[in-house]
């Protein structure tokens, strides 16, 4: 069995339509029968346009949104079958990096408090110098100076805040990280720094990751395998190089054609 097994996953929402006098319901199939697997230490790139179901899919894996049907099996355990309390305990093993680092960080907490809180989820008895050194090590891991740990999120740039968000995701020592569009809100030059950081962390820590993006070029750069999502379904998947250079699905070809390229005579 693969480290992460997603089997025939469906996440549907009921949406009211019609008028006040003749109401009706419409079912939105945000995730519609997705099956994927992920090996330990692998980065799976999930790519698709906005609204295709990527974020709903990631939140269903995280058990933040309940699945309508199907299962999410992590390291042999079906997360979909766990109670809410059991999911909270197990969530230490799977963490998420969100698209907007500023919105995902508490503006009233210093960086030290944010990271210390995350560390204590795994090590509740850790305190004093041991806790300080653990936070210091986390900051160094993501390329930040420990001298700034007493500052607040608004005192950092977007790229620095995303580094902090990555450090927070690493703090509970998870086995799986889901990164949902982690560079799309950043400048191009900062994007490359964060991508290089993620690549380095994956090699050094042996991270297992699902990296979500609307940009096939970004996913090709960072992922071992690519899965292409369209209207809640996976329309193509395979090794990153093969999907990028030899796309089979028409939708994948359209994504590839949408990547900006410099003119030949520039």
- Domains of the chain, each with CATH number or no CATH: 4-101+169-257 (3.40.50.300)
Q: Is the dihedral of CA 123, 129, 133, 136 positive or negative?
A: positive
Residue 102 has pLDDT above 90, yes or no: no
Predicted pLDDT at 186: 81
Model confidence at 104, pLDDT cuts 50, 70, 90, reads: confident
Question: Does the reported pTM lie above 0.75?
Answer: yes
92 Cβ contact partners less than 8 Å away, ≥ 6 residues apart:
121, 122, 172, 173, 174
Model confidence at 20, pLDDT cuts 50, 70, 90, reads: low
Q: pLDDT by residue (tens digit) across 185-219?
A: 788 888 888 899 999 988 888 889 999 999 999 99
Instruction: Kindly report the backbone phi and psi dihedral angles of residue 242, in degrees, each rounded to the nearest multiple of 5, phi listed first.
Output: -70, -45
Q: pLDDT by residue (tens digit) across 163-175?
A: 999 999 999 999 8
Sheet holding 4-18, edge to edge: 23-38, 4-18, 69-74, 77-78
Predicted pLDDT at 261: 67
Q: pLDDT by residue (tens digit) across 174-185?
A: 989 999 988 887
Predicted pLDDT at 18: 67
CA atoms within a 13 Å half-sphere pointing along the CA-CB vector of 265: 0
């Amino acid at each position: 069995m693969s480290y992460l097994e997603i089997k025939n996953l469906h996440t549907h929402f009921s949406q009211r339509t019609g008028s006040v006098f003749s109401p009706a319901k419409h079912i939105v199939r945000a995730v519609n029968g997705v099956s994927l697997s992920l090996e330990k230490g692998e980065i799976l790139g999930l790519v698709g346009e906005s609204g295709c179901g990527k974020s709903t899919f990631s939140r269903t894996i995280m058990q933040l949104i309940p699945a309508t049907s199907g299962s999410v099996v992590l390291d042999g355990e079906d997360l979909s079958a766990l109670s809410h309390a059991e999911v909270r305990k197990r969530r230490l093993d799977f963490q998420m990096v969100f698209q907007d680092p500023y919105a995902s960080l508490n503006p009233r907490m210093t960086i030290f408090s944010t990271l210390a809180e995350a560390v204590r989820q795994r090590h509740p008895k850790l305190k004093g110098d041991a806790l300080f050194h653990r936070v210091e090590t986390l900051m160094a891991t993501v390329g930040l100076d420990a001298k700034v740990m007493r500052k607040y999120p608004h005192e950092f740039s977007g790229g620095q805040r995303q580094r902090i968000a990555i450090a927070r995701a690493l703090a509970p020592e998870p086995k799986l990280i889901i990164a949902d569009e982690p560079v799309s809100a950043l400048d191009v030059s900062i994007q490359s720094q964060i991508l290089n950081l993620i690549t380095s962390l994956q090699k050094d820590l042996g991270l297992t990751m699902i990296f979500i993006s609307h940009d096939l070029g970004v996913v090709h750069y960072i992922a071992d395998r690519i899965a292409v999502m369209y209207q809640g379904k996976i329309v193509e998947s395979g090794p990153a190089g093969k999907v990028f250079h030899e796309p089979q699905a028409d939708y994948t070809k359209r994504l590839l054609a949408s990547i900006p390229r410099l003119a030949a005579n520039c």
